[in-house]
Amino acid sequence: KKNKKKTSHPPPTTMNQTGVLFCEQQRVFGAEVDMRVKAEGSITLYCDCVIPLGSLIVWLRTCSHEHQPSLLIDYSEIFKKFPHFSFVLNSSSNSYDLHITNVSVSDEGMYYCAKRESIISKDVNGIKNEKLEYEYGNKTTRLSVLGEKTFSLLFMLICFVLTN
Protein backbone atom coordinates (compact mmCIF):
# COMPACT_ATOMS: atom_id res chain seq x y z
CA LYS A 1 0.00 0.00 0.00
CA LYS A 2 1.31 3.46 -0.86
CA ASN A 3 1.85 5.98 1.92
CA LYS A 4 0.48 9.27 0.63
CA LYS A 5 0.99 12.59 2.28
CA LYS A 6 -1.08 15.64 1.43
CA THR A 7 0.73 18.92 1.42
CA SER A 8 -0.46 22.48 0.94
CA HIS A 9 2.52 23.47 -1.22
CA PRO A 10 1.55 23.37 -4.91
CA PRO A 11 4.13 22.23 -7.46
CA PRO A 12 5.79 24.88 -9.61
CA THR A 13 3.62 25.81 -12.55
CA THR A 14 4.35 27.14 -16.00
CA MET A 15 0.79 27.60 -17.23
CA ASN A 16 -1.29 30.72 -17.77
CA GLN A 17 -4.68 30.27 -16.12
CA THR A 18 -7.97 32.12 -16.15
CA GLY A 19 -10.27 31.84 -13.20
CA VAL A 20 -9.09 30.34 -9.95
CA LEU A 21 -6.54 27.55 -9.69
CA PHE A 22 -6.50 25.12 -6.77
CA CYS A 23 -3.81 22.51 -6.32
CA GLU A 24 -3.83 19.44 -4.14
CA GLN A 25 -0.76 17.26 -3.83
CA GLN A 26 -0.35 13.71 -2.72
CA ARG A 27 3.34 12.86 -2.50
CA VAL A 28 4.36 9.24 -2.18
CA PHE A 29 7.48 8.48 -0.22
CA GLY A 30 9.28 5.48 -1.66
CA ALA A 31 12.49 4.37 -3.30
CA GLU A 32 15.21 6.85 -4.14
CA VAL A 33 17.48 5.98 -7.04
CA ASP A 34 20.87 7.64 -7.57
CA MET A 35 21.85 8.08 -11.22
CA ARG A 36 25.09 9.61 -12.39
CA VAL A 37 25.88 10.67 -15.92
CA LYS A 38 28.94 12.15 -17.58
CA ALA A 39 28.63 15.83 -18.55
CA GLU A 40 27.27 16.21 -22.10
CA GLY A 41 25.98 12.61 -21.99
CA SER A 42 22.40 11.34 -22.23
CA ILE A 43 20.20 9.56 -19.71
CA THR A 44 16.64 8.24 -19.42
CA LEU A 45 14.77 8.52 -16.12
CA TYR A 46 12.04 5.93 -15.67
CA CYS A 47 8.53 6.78 -14.50
CA ASP A 48 6.48 4.33 -12.45
CA CYS A 49 3.11 6.11 -12.83
CA VAL A 50 0.45 4.52 -15.04
CA ILE A 51 -1.61 6.87 -17.22
CA PRO A 52 -5.37 6.32 -17.16
CA LEU A 53 -7.50 7.93 -19.85
CA GLY A 54 -7.87 11.69 -19.26
CA SER A 55 -4.64 12.04 -17.26
CA LEU A 56 -1.23 13.41 -18.16
CA ILE A 57 2.25 12.56 -16.95
CA VAL A 58 4.38 15.44 -15.73
CA TRP A 59 7.93 15.40 -14.45
CA LEU A 60 9.05 17.60 -11.58
CA ARG A 61 12.53 18.54 -10.48
CA THR A 62 13.56 19.91 -7.14
CA CYS A 63 17.07 21.21 -7.16
CA SER A 64 20.26 20.58 -5.34
CA HIS A 65 21.50 24.14 -5.91
CA GLU A 66 20.01 27.00 -3.91
CA HIS A 67 19.93 29.35 -6.92
CA GLN A 68 18.31 26.87 -9.30
CA PRO A 69 14.51 26.95 -9.73
CA SER A 70 12.27 23.93 -9.41
CA LEU A 71 10.72 22.76 -12.67
CA LEU A 72 7.42 21.35 -13.84
CA ILE A 73 8.03 19.60 -17.14
CA ASP A 74 4.89 18.78 -19.09
CA TYR A 75 4.33 17.54 -22.61
CA SER A 76 2.73 20.75 -23.91
CA GLU A 77 5.81 22.92 -23.30
CA ILE A 78 8.71 20.48 -23.37
CA PHE A 79 9.96 21.46 -26.84
CA LYS A 80 9.74 25.23 -26.25
CA LYS A 81 11.21 25.49 -22.77
CA PHE A 82 13.29 22.30 -22.45
CA PRO A 83 14.83 21.50 -25.85
CA HIS A 84 17.22 18.86 -24.48
CA PHE A 85 14.40 16.99 -22.66
CA SER A 86 11.96 14.61 -24.35
CA PHE A 87 9.21 12.25 -23.25
CA VAL A 88 9.65 8.63 -24.32
CA LEU A 89 6.63 6.33 -24.34
CA ASN A 90 7.25 3.28 -22.17
CA SER A 91 4.66 0.81 -23.45
CA SER A 92 5.52 -1.79 -20.80
CA SER A 93 4.53 0.57 -17.97
CA ASN A 94 2.00 2.67 -19.97
CA SER A 95 3.84 5.83 -18.96
CA TYR A 96 6.31 8.41 -20.22
CA ASP A 97 9.97 8.32 -19.23
CA LEU A 98 12.12 11.46 -19.34
CA HIS A 99 15.11 11.45 -21.71
CA ILE A 100 17.74 14.15 -21.20
CA THR A 101 20.45 14.83 -23.79
CA ASN A 102 23.57 16.99 -23.44
CA VAL A 103 23.32 16.79 -19.65
CA SER A 104 24.95 19.60 -17.67
CA VAL A 105 25.31 20.54 -14.01
CA SER A 106 22.18 22.69 -14.34
CA ASP A 107 20.17 19.45 -14.81
CA GLU A 108 21.14 18.07 -11.39
CA GLY A 109 18.41 17.54 -8.83
CA MET A 110 15.67 15.21 -7.61
CA TYR A 111 13.31 14.10 -10.39
CA TYR A 112 9.95 12.44 -9.98
CA CYS A 113 6.97 11.86 -12.20
CA ALA A 114 3.32 12.35 -11.38
CA LYS A 115 -0.04 11.66 -12.91
CA ARG A 116 -1.89 14.97 -13.27
CA GLU A 117 -5.65 15.22 -13.60
CA SER A 118 -7.49 18.46 -14.22
CA ILE A 119 -10.94 18.85 -12.69
CA ILE A 120 -12.92 21.87 -13.91
CA SER A 121 -16.02 23.14 -12.15
CA LYS A 122 -18.08 26.34 -11.98
CA ASP A 123 -19.01 28.16 -8.82
CA VAL A 124 -22.44 29.72 -8.17
CA ASN A 125 -21.39 32.88 -10.07
CA GLY A 126 -20.40 30.88 -13.15
CA ILE A 127 -16.66 31.39 -12.63
CA LYS A 128 -14.62 28.42 -13.76
CA ASN A 129 -12.32 26.80 -11.22
CA GLU A 130 -9.63 24.34 -12.15
CA LYS A 131 -8.30 21.90 -9.60
CA LEU A 132 -5.12 20.04 -10.51
CA GLU A 133 -4.63 16.76 -8.71
CA TYR A 134 -1.22 15.09 -8.67
CA GLU A 135 -0.57 11.48 -7.77
CA TYR A 136 3.13 10.79 -7.52
CA GLY A 137 4.95 7.58 -8.34
CA ASN A 138 6.85 5.57 -5.78
CA LYS A 139 10.30 6.39 -7.16
CA THR A 140 12.44 9.51 -6.92
CA THR A 141 15.63 9.82 -8.97
CA ARG A 142 18.60 11.90 -7.83
CA LEU A 143 20.53 12.95 -10.94
CA SER A 144 24.20 13.88 -10.53
CA VAL A 145 26.60 14.97 -13.26
CA LEU A 146 30.13 13.64 -13.25
CA GLY A 147 32.83 16.10 -14.24
CA GLU A 148 35.84 14.97 -16.27
CA LYS A 149 37.99 14.34 -13.16
CA THR A 150 35.21 12.54 -11.27
CA PHE A 151 34.42 10.37 -14.29
CA SER A 152 38.10 9.47 -14.79
CA LEU A 153 38.54 8.54 -11.12
CA LEU A 154 35.38 6.44 -11.15
CA PHE A 155 36.50 4.67 -14.34
CA MET A 156 39.95 3.95 -12.83
CA LEU A 157 38.33 2.58 -9.65
CA ILE A 158 36.06 0.27 -11.66
CA CYS A 159 39.02 -0.97 -13.72
CA PHE A 160 41.03 -1.58 -10.54
CA VAL A 161 38.21 -3.57 -8.93
CA LEU A 162 37.66 -5.65 -12.08
CA THR A 163 41.35 -6.53 -12.50
CA ASN A 164 41.91 -7.56 -8.87
Is 0.85 surpassed by the pTM of this model? Answer: no
Query: Each residue's pLDDT tens digit in the chain (164 positions)?
Result: 444 433 333 444 333 333 333 333 344 456 888 999 999 999 999 999 888 766 789 999 987 666 567 888 888 777 778 889 999 988 887 889 999 999 998 899 999 999 988 888 998 999 999 888 888 889 999 999 987 555 445 545 554 555 55
The answer to whether the CB of 5 falls within 8 A of the CB of 26 is yes
* Domains, the chain, with CATH or none: 4-163 (2.60.40.10)
Whole-number Å distance between alpha carbons of 114 and 44: 16
Whole-number Å distance between alpha carbons of 92 and 25: 26
C-alpha count within 13 angstroms, C-beta hemisphere, residue 132: 20
Instruction: List Cα–Cα distances, 42 to 29, 84, 85, 102, in angstroms.
Output: 27, 9, 10, 6
User: Would you give the end-to-end CA distance of the chain in angstroms?
Assistant: 44
